[in-house]
Structure 1
Amino acid sequence: MDQGLKGALGLTGPEACLAYYRDWADTYDQGFAEGMQYRLPAHVAAAFLGAGGQGPVLDVGAGTGLLAERLREMGFQGDIDAVDFSAEMLGRAAEKRLYSGLFRADITRPLTLPRRYGGIVSSGTFTAGHVGPEALPHLLDVAEPGALVALSINRRVWTAAGFERVLAQLADEGRIADLRLPEVEVYGAAAADLDADHAGDRALVALFAAA
């Protein structure tokens, strides 16, 4: 049975996230992504490539690999690594053979990955019940100077969770530059039949260069 979006957005704490995505991994692509016409991965991929994004790329909160699929469909041929908190979701991603490396990690803590990434992308990770802006410095620590970053941030948490403030602070500190914030739809029209409360959700794609 598909776990559903409402439960995911109400998660509190890492153990709850692990348990939820352990049970959701098998039905995520067909039950959630197809049913809700989940457009966010395509929007992030298009924003990243449209701004001249280069690899190697780190896909943050990669899940089952939907964002990497969209990058490949749009012609990106460079290396992509995946990082996610859920071993089960990474297992589904591995089956698609999209990634050069797959890493299980909590991005709210310092990462042990090398500072090698020319691009960092993320779709759906920075939203209610998931990851807050405390992860952003850790992502910058593994980005090469000048790397292009494209992260979706749900409108519902943009101000409430402190993303607006933290990104402004990182800019003031000289850790990021050239911040742009295009706004996109998260779901297609079919979502209204499955989850009217969230069907109209919008997200900002935070595009910026790592210093």
Structure 2
Amino acid sequence: MSLDMEKARVAWNLIYNDMLVSDTEQGLVECYGQHAVRYDQYIKDIGYRMPAKTAKLLMKYGNLGPESEVLDVGAGTGILGTKLRELGYRGEIDGLDGSSGMLKIAESRKLYRNLVQQFLTADCALDVGDVMYDAIASVGVFSAVHVGASVTRCLFNHVKSGGVVIISYRVNETTIGDTEFIAELKDTINSICDKGKASVIAELSTDFFGVNFFADDPSKPCPGLCLCLRKT
């Protein structure tokens, strides 16, 4: 589906020049809260494709049934939950996000069992009690301006043996910070696998956004990567 490039440019600028300008946890959460009611329109205008791709991977590799439990880390307004339901998933979904404003939108969708507000920091424990999930997915959460690479390890503390963890992220390296972050994220994932805690069972290079205003030609999609790991 073709995008309106003028609308896409406006939405892109609102996201990258307004929502993501704070360098503090509180500031970032407040920015997301201020834009929560318009967020779904922003990402529609820039062709946010990663939630749908991630949902398909979950359905393909997660062995999900009506009794399954899935955790959406960085749930935002509940887009991943929506995509899972559209694909026929009928099990439980819990969501976790740092912004209460975004979670209010997710709650209104009535797709999630529990929604928890938590901003993820290094070596934190997810605030989900003793639930061990069949699958955990994180879409667009790990980045130089959001959640650090070390949090990847925390996800494996909350998924069952044999369960899957999917991490989907933007790979367009536009700054030194982006390059360093992606290298750190890859090193962290490799370390988890090298220690025998998980193995990569699928790797999908795909479009993250349908446009890319970081590039010389904004009409070309912004690249992304979905990694699906199975816990041993």
TM-score relative to the length of structure 2: 0.81
In structure 2, the partner of 1:90 is: 103
In structure 1, the partner of 2:125 is: 110
* Equivalent of residue 224 in structure 2, options 190, 203, 207: 203
Deviates further, 195-204 or 39-48? 195-204
Letter in 1 for 2:112: Y
Q: Distance in 1 between matches of 2:28 and 2:138?
A: 17
1:200 deviates by 2.9
Q: Distance in 1 between matches of 2:82 and 2:92?
A: 13
1:147 deviates by 1.0
Is 1:29 the counterpart of 2:40? The answer is yes
Q: Distance in 2 between matches of 1:70 and 1:160?
A: 31
CA contact (8 A) 2:20 2:31 kept: no
Flag structure 2 segments of 5+ consecutive residues without an equivalent.
Answer: 1-9
Is 1:46 the counterpart of 2:56? The answer is yes
Cα deviation, 1:17-62, whole Å, max 9, x if unaligned, reads: 11110111010011x1211121111011111112244230000000
* Equivalent of residue 134 in structure 1, options 150, 160, 165: 150
In structure 2, the partner of 1:144 is: 160
Q: Distance in 2 between matches of 1:10 and 1:202?
A: 22
In structure 2, the partner of 1:176 is: 198
CA contact (8 A) 1:127 1:156 kept: no
Deviates further, 117-126 or 11-20? 11-20
Q: Give the paired residue count.
A: 206
* Equivalent of residue 79 in structure 2, options 59, 62, 66: 66
Deviates further, 60-69 or 147-156? 147-156
Q: Considering only aligned residues, what root-mean-square deviation do their CA atoms show, in Å?
A: 2.2
1:179 deviates by 4.3
CA contact (8 A) 1:159 1:165 kept: no
Q: Distance in 2 between matches of 1:10 and 1:179?
A: 35
Flag structure 1 segments of 5+ consecutive residues without an equivalent.
Answer: none
CA contact (8 A) 2:137 2:167 kept: yes
Structure with the larger RCO, 1 or 2 (CA within 8 Å, 6+ apart): 1
In structure 1, the partner of 2:180 is: 160
Letter in 2 for 1:130: H
TM-score relative to the length of structure 1: 0.88
Letter in 1 for 2:71: L
The structure with the larger Rg is: 2
Deviates further, 62-71 or 106-115? 106-115
Seq. identity, % = 28
1:202 deviates by 1.1
